[in-house]
Each structure stands twice: as C-alpha cells, then as structure tokens.
Amino acid sequence: MLAPDIKREPPMLYLASQSPRRRDLLGQLAATFSVLDVDVTEQRAIDESPKDYVHRVAHDKARAGLASLDANQRTDAIVLGADTEVVLDGDVFGKPRDVADATAMLHRLSGRTHEVISAVWLVCADRELGDVCVSRVRFAKLDEASIAAYVASGEPFGKAGAYAIQGRGATLIEHLEGSYSGVMGLPLFETARLLRNFGIVPL
C-alpha cells in the first residue's frame, strides 16, 4: 500500500516591523506576508560596536516577533526583523527625538560621509540567520536655512539620521556607495539571499 500523501503547509512569512518602508521593500520580494507589532528596546551597550548593535537589534526584533506568535503559528513561521542606524565618528544616530535633535544630526552630517548600517535577521522555530549591509553616504554642505526647511517638512522624523533617501532627503545626498534599499531600511540583495536560504523564492 502507498504511504498517504502528507502535505506540509508552506512556511508563512512575517515582518516584525512597523516601518512602512520595510513593508514596501519586502513587498518587492514576497507576494504575501503578515506584519507583527513588536516592541524592542533600542539601547546600545557601552562596549558594543555600532555593527554589533544593529545586528543585535534586528535579531531581537525577529525573536520578539516569533515569540509573539502562538505555538501553532510558530511551527511554520519565518520571521524577519531589521534595523537601520546612521553612524558618524563612532556615534550612532537613531531616529531624532524632536526638532532640536533632528537639526543637530543634520548639522553633523552636513558636508561629511557617514555610514548607514542595516541588518536583517530571519528566524524560525529551529534556525536563524542574519546579514548586515554597510553603505557610505556623502552629504552636501547644508546651510542653516535648508536644514530648518527640511526639518520643518517633517520628513526627518521616524528616520535614522533624520533624513530619507527615498524622499526630499535625496537632494541632500552627493554620493552613495552601497545599497539604496539598505539605506532605506531593508537591504534587498541580502534579504533575498536569506529568504532563499529559508526556502522562500523571492519574486
């Protein structure tokens, strides 16, 4: 007698992120996924390098997403977490707290080259794997008035380093070396490679 045909459900992909940019970017690689709302404290330890920090936060977001699922969902789930930070002179710039913070960040980025570090992690019940992408972004020299106008536009808020490469922020950038999608929040080359590793064929 033939063995019964046991069909396994395909894995379900979850995005552990509230970032609309990540949702759009992941949509370029996967036709269906669900979004999970996770709350992870983003606080760099004193002796932690910026790269290790970004890696850890992306990992924590993915793990928190997996933990938020019930036991049944967890068996077939693959959860993606990501983190993006701007780094200049060893200082990590996250999302600005207020107008003064955004203004100070843009002053420091003006006329300089900084790094944007984006990490992505995939976790499932019995495996996890991550990758990190570092890009170099050179800002034009910005005067007081253009910084004030950009901050007043509201775009800097909710963005690491107080700018958005995908928005008006593009007009501040003289040069990019690395990954446009990585700067925007989800490095697509690295993410596609990880998805393949987990058996998901990117679109």
Ligand X SMILES: Cc1cn([C@H]2C[C@H](O)[C@@H](COP(=O)(O)OP(=O)(O)OP(=O)(O)O)O2)c(=O)[nH]c1=O
The answer to the question of residue 165 lying near ligand X (CB under 6 A) is yes
Distances (CA, A) of 103 to 42, 95, 127, 158: 21, 12, 42, 14
Q: What is the dihedral of CA 119, 125, 126, 129, to 10 degrees?
A: -10
The answer to the question of residue 50 lying near ligand X (CB under 6 A) is no
Q: Which is nearer to ligand X, 158 or 202 (CB)?
A: 158
Q: Which is nearer to ligand X, 130 or 161 (CB)?
A: 161
Question: Is 130 in a helix, a strand, or coil?
Answer: strand
The answer to the question of residue 159 lying near ligand X (CB under 6 A) is yes
**Dihedral sign for Cα atoms in the order 160, 175, 91, 15:** positive
Choosing from 117, 122, 160, 200, the residue that interacts with ligand X (CB under 6 A) is 160
Q: Which of residues 21-40 bind ligand X (CB under 6 A)?
A: 21-22
Choosing from 84, 103, 179, 191, the residue that interacts with ligand X (CB under 6 A) is 84
Site stretch for ligand X (CB under 6 A), options 1-9, 24-32, 128-136, 152-160: 152-160
Choosing from 13, 14, 19, 96, the residue that interacts with ligand X (CB under 6 A) is 19
Question: Angle 193-194-200 (CA atoms, 0-180°, nearest 5)?
Answer: 90
**Pairwise CA distance, residues 199 & 120, whole Å:** 16
**Pairwise CA distance, residues 175 & 169, whole Å:** 12
The answer to the question of residue 184 lying near ligand X (CB under 6 A) is yes
Helices and strands in the chain, H and E counts: 7, 7
x/- string (CB under 6 A) for ligand X, residues 98-137? Answer: ------------------x---------------------
Site stretch for ligand X (CB under 6 A), options 5-13, 19-27, 72-80, 120-128: 19-27
Q: Which is nearer to ligand X, 96 or 200 (CB)?
A: 96
Q: Which is nearer to ligand X, 75 or 99 (CB)?
A: 99
Distances (CA, A) of 59 to 123, 130, 137: 8, 8, 25
Phi–psi pair at 34, nearest 5 degrees: -110, 150
- What residues are labeled active site? 83
Return residues touching ligand X (CB under 6 A): 17-19, 21-22, 42, 61, 82-84, 86, 95, 116, 158-161, 163-166, 169, 183-185
